[in-house]
Amino acid sequence: MKETQEGPVSRCFGNNCPKNSGKKREEALKAALKKVADKKRMEPVVKRAQGEINGLLKLSRGSLINLLPLVVSRVVDKRYPRLVLEILLERIRRNQWDKLSPEDKCLVIQTEAFLILRK
């Protein structure tokens, strides 16, 4: 509480008391730190998956959509983690979606459905 010439002044207005906001801030900070820690923990795995995709691109000298059947077969055989397929699908959607033919778009959608069913 703040002292003024008239006496103590409360800074609480309704439910917005500084004591409560400190708890909320602390919880928000903990959630943000947990999110950053999870991201840091996941970062090497994502980098490795990106490296696998980039290596396949160099070997095949093709586009991402051409890698899709190969990566799907390797995920089914459990030679690749499903994260590689998820990242490949994300990159296809981000970089090539507008340029894809309807058949290729259908293949991407079927692969995404396959991933959902395999969870």
Written as six digits, the tokens of 69 are: 């059947």
User: What's the gap between Cα 59 and its chain centre?
Assistant: 27
Helix H or strand E encompassing 18: helix 18-60
Per residue of the chain (119 residues), give pLDDT as tens: 555 555 555 566 666 655 556 778 888 888 887 777 766 666 788 888 888 888 888 887 778 888 999 999 999 999 989 889 999 999 999 988 999 999 999 999 999 998 888 87
Helix H or strand E encompassing 3: strand 2-3
